[in-house]
């Protein structure tokens, strides 16, 4: 571990992750429409299948094409880092479909938030560090947990908004299982906890203060916009903004300290 950045590995990692992410969205879009979880009456942004923008066949073909591209990236990464890439890649490829499809669709079993924490946080961050360094430092897992928690806020907010539609389609998300109040408390916790974890990854200092300010600002927005019976439409975008600002601020603070 010499601190040098391999741009080739970085670019292939980014494209591999993007291919899997977009494929997951394609599968999610078409499968939710087929199961009735998405209709033309949904409250959020218009979906491709439910809104008639793309045919189910086109979405399935697009998702499969993207997964093939992700596997090409995976071959390159496997050559560079060996069998651990298989442990990361094979579950990621399957769960791009298995998140909403298959016999045990995670999103329909109330496991969406856990899936996001694991694969969009822990695996994504620690796996990227491993690809660059060949090591699995504890700090990478902690930062991955922070990113995963903020990513899971997006899923929880989205499901909070879609409660009635998901309930009618028998999509057993956490908010369908637990109700709005417990999930609202979970959203607040996942918003603030990453700032607390900074004490473990970086200790008290500039990064902790910045992350705490971000957490309090967005917690205040959630308290304002997360109503007992609904969610303001802008909250999903603001949750994504928190994640982006958290990551950007983290890199900036690393550069300054």
Domain boundaries, the chain: 7-256
**Cα dist from 14 to 146, 177, 191, whole Å:** 19, 35, 25
What is the chain's mean pLDDT, rounded?
91
The Cα 114–Cα 190 span in angstroms is 12
**Cα dist from 225 to 165, 187, 193, 207, 237, whole Å:** 20, 12, 20, 27, 12
Task: Among 101-110, 166-175, 223-232, name the one with the lowest average pLDDT.
Answer: 223-232
pLDDT at res. 254: 80
Q: Which of 23, 102, 105, 29 is nearest to 68 (CA)?
A: 23
pLDDT digits (tens, 9 = 90+) for 243-255: 999 999 998 988 8
Which pLDDT band, with edges at 50, 70 and 90, does 233 fall under? confident
pLDDT at 54 over 90: no
* % of the chain exceeding 70 in pLDDT: 95
pLDDT at 11 over 50: yes
How many Cβ atoms are within 10 Å of 239's Cβ, its own excluded? 25
The Cα 172–Cα 37 span in angstroms is 11
Which pLDDT band, with edges at 50, 70 and 90, does 168 fall under? confident
How many Cβ atoms are within 10 Å of 64's Cβ, its own excluded? 13
The Cα 199–Cα 77 span in angstroms is 33
pLDDT at res. 40: 59
pLDDT: which is higher, 39 or 131: 131
pLDDT at res. 1: 45
The Cα 251–Cα 41 span in angstroms is 40
pLDDT: which is higher, 48 or 240: 240
pLDDT: which is higher, 24 or 227: 24
pLDDT digits (tens, 9 = 90+) for 172-214: 999 999 999 999 999 999 999 999 999 887 777 888 999 999 9
The Cα 224–Cα 67 span in angstroms is 40
pLDDT at 43 over 70: no
Which two structure tokens, joined as six digits, stand for 128? 């990227």
Q: What torsion do the CA atoms of 111, 104, 177, 112 make, to the nearest 10 degrees?
A: 20
pLDDT at res. 4: 77
The Cα 52–Cα 254 span in angstroms is 46
pLDDT digits (tens, 9 = 90+) for 79-132: 999 999 999 999 999 999 999 999 999 999 999 999 999 999 999 999 999 999
Give the three-class secondary structure for 226. strand
The upper half-sphere exposure of residue 54, i.e. CA atoms within 13 Å in the direction of its Cβ, equals 16
* Terminal-residue alpha carbon distance, the chain: 20
**Cα dist from 167 to 43, 98, 207, whole Å:** 14, 20, 41
pLDDT: which is higher, 188 or 45: 188
pLDDT digits (tens, 9 = 90+) for 64-73: 999 999 999 9
């Amino acid at each position: 571990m010499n601190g040098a950045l391999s741009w080739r590995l970085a670019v292939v990692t980014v494209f591999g992750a993007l291919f899997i992410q977009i494929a997951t969205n394609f599968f999610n879009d078409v499968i939710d429409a087929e199961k009735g979880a998405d209709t033309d009456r949904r409250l959020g942004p218009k979906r491709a299948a439910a809104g008639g923008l793309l045919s189910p066949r086109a979405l399935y073909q697009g998702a499969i094409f993207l997964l093939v591209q992700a596997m090409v990236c995976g071959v390159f990464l496997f050559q560079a880092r060996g069998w651990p890439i298989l442990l990361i890649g094979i579950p990621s490829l399957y769960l791009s479909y298995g998140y909403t499809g298959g016999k045990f669709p995670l999103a329909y079993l109330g496991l969406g938030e856990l899936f996001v924490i694991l694969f969009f946080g822990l695996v994504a961050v620690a796996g990227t560090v491993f690809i660059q360094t060949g090591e699995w430092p504890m700090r990478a897992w902690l930062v991955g947990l922070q990113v995963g928690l903020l990513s899971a806020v997006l899923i929880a907010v989205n499901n909070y908004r879609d409660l009635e539609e998901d309930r009618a389609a028998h999509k057993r998300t956490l908010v369908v299982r637990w109700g709005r109040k417990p999930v609202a408390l979970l959203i607040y916790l996942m918003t603030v906890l990453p700032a607390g974890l900074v004490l473990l990854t970086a200790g008290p200092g500039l990064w902790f203060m910045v992350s705490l300010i971000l957490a309090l600002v967005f917690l205040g927005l959630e308290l304002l916009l997360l109503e007992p019976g609904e969610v303001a439409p802008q909250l999903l975008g603001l949750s994504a903004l928190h994640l982006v600002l958290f990551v950007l601020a983290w890199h900036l603070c690393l550069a300054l300290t």
